[in-house]
């Protein structure tokens, strides 16, 4: 009986021994998130951004809801990539589309576009919990709102090159020719939807399951799902970016949110011009479903294959 009582007492005291660390059974604890953050900051001061990024990643692993770890990881990621957020914002806001310029980043190489896409995805993932008030620490929503808004603006624009919606820009993606069309009411045009369908129908490794949507055996239906999901992804990201950017005062950042907002509005309209919806006036010209997917400007508005209900001649792509 005494033996059983002794074991019971030892069992009750075991947690205290483990917590105190004065025993061989206690597990070794890793560095605290605070010390990792300080080490990361020191590496940032030494311009070792990749090293700092790794330290902040460790801190996030230790304490996922630490806003300092998330903020500095996002910052180190941007610096390690060699990009500058304000310079990128100027690329968006300073383009003179009336001169026929293409959409930002569409003339970049696949590898360069994918690199920036990955950076902006990381920044968005790092900062979103802070913006949503789910973290503790030195940084709150108003400290990171511009950074998150711009990152998601870049993310939305770059999404035009992630046509299979797999969060990577690769040679497997179809590269739209996205440019300003002289005399077109809606400005930008994606040229053209028929080529998109043809590309994925004949691609050696077609991506027909966007965002884990169930595979549709009928290929034309699968392609419509793929394209509409692609459009919705872009619009969702950019709408969120707009909400954030428009809410921010102009002065202290050197970027006019109204300029950025105008461009983002235009980009959303580009995507929705081409969404395939029966009976919906996607391009806002007063008519519905006036385009057939055939690579021809059927309604003479300077755009090709926009505002379609998905009707096309199967002989064109099969």
Count of domains observed in the chain: 1
Determine, yes or no, domain membership for 176: yes
Determine, yes or no, domain membership for 35: no
Determine, yes or no, domain membership for 119: yes
Determine, yes or no, domain membership for 27: no
* Cα(64)–Cα(25) distance, integer angstroms: 27
Determine, yes or no, domain membership for 306: yes
Determine, yes or no, domain membership for 206: yes
Determine, yes or no, domain membership for 272: yes
Tokens linked to 5:
């009582």
- Mean pLDDT for all residues in the chain: 76
Q: 129 lies in which domain range?
A: 83-316
By the 8 A CB rule, do 291 and 306 touch? yes
Determine, yes or no, domain membership for 207: yes
- Which residues of the chain are under the pLDDT cut of 70? 1-31, 85-86, 89, 92-100, 181-188, 191, 202-220, 245-257, 259-260, 313-318
* Cα(159)–Cα(229) distance, integer angstroms: 11
> pLDDT tens digit string along 5-50?
333 333 334 344 334 444 444 444 456 889 999 999 999 999 999 9
How many helices and strands (H and E) does the chain possess?
10, 2
In eight-state DSSP terms, residue 65 is T
**Tokens 């950074």 belong to which residue?**
147
By the 8 A CB rule, do 161 and 106 touch? yes
Per-residue confidence (pLDDT) for residue 211, from 0 to 100: 44
DSSP string, 76-136: HHHHHHT--HHHHHHHHHS--GGGTPBPTTTTS-HHHHHHHHHHHHHHHHHHHHHHTT--B
How many alpha carbons fall within 13 Å on the CB side of residue 171?
A: 1
């Amino acid at each position: 009986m005494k033996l059983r009582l002794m074991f019971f007492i030892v069992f009750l005291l075991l947690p205290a021994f483990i917590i105190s660390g004065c025993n061989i059974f206690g597990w070794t604890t890793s560095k605290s998130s605070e010390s990792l953050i300080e080490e990361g900051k020191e590496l940032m001061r030494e311009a070792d951004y990749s090293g700092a990024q790794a330290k902040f990643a460790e801190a996030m692993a230790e304490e996922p809801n630490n806003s300092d770890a998330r903020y500095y990881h996002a910052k180190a990621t941007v610096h390690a990539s060699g990009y500058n957020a304000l310079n990128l914002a100027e690329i968006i806001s300073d383009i003179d589309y009336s001169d026929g310029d293409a959409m930002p980043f569409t003339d970049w190489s696949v590898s360069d576009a994918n690199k920036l896409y990955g950076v902006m995805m990381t920044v968005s993932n790092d900062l979103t919990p802070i913006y949503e008030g789910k973290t503790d620490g030195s940084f709150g929503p108003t400290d990171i709102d511009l950074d998150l808004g711009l990152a998601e603006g870049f993310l939305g624009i770059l999404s035009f090159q992630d046509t299979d919606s797999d969060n990577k820009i690769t040679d497997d993606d179809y590269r739209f020719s996205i440019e300003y069309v002289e005399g077109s009411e809606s400005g930008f045009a994606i040229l053209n939807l028929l080529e998109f369908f043809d590309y994925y129908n004949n691609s050696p490794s077609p991506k027909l399951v966007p965002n884990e949507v169930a595979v549709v055996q009928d290929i034309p239906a699968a392609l419509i799902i793929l394209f509409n999901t692609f459009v919705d992804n872009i619009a969702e990201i950019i709408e969120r970016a707009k909400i954030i950017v428009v809410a921010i005062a102009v002065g202290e950042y050197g970027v006019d949110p109204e300029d950025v907002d105008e461009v983002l509005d235009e980009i959303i309209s580009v995507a929705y011009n081409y969404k395939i919806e029966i009976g919906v006036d996607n391009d806002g010209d007063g008519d519905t479903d006036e385009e057939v997917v055939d690579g021809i400007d059927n309604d003479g508005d300077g755009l090709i294959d926009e505002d379609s209900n998905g009707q096309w001649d199967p002989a064109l792509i099969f």
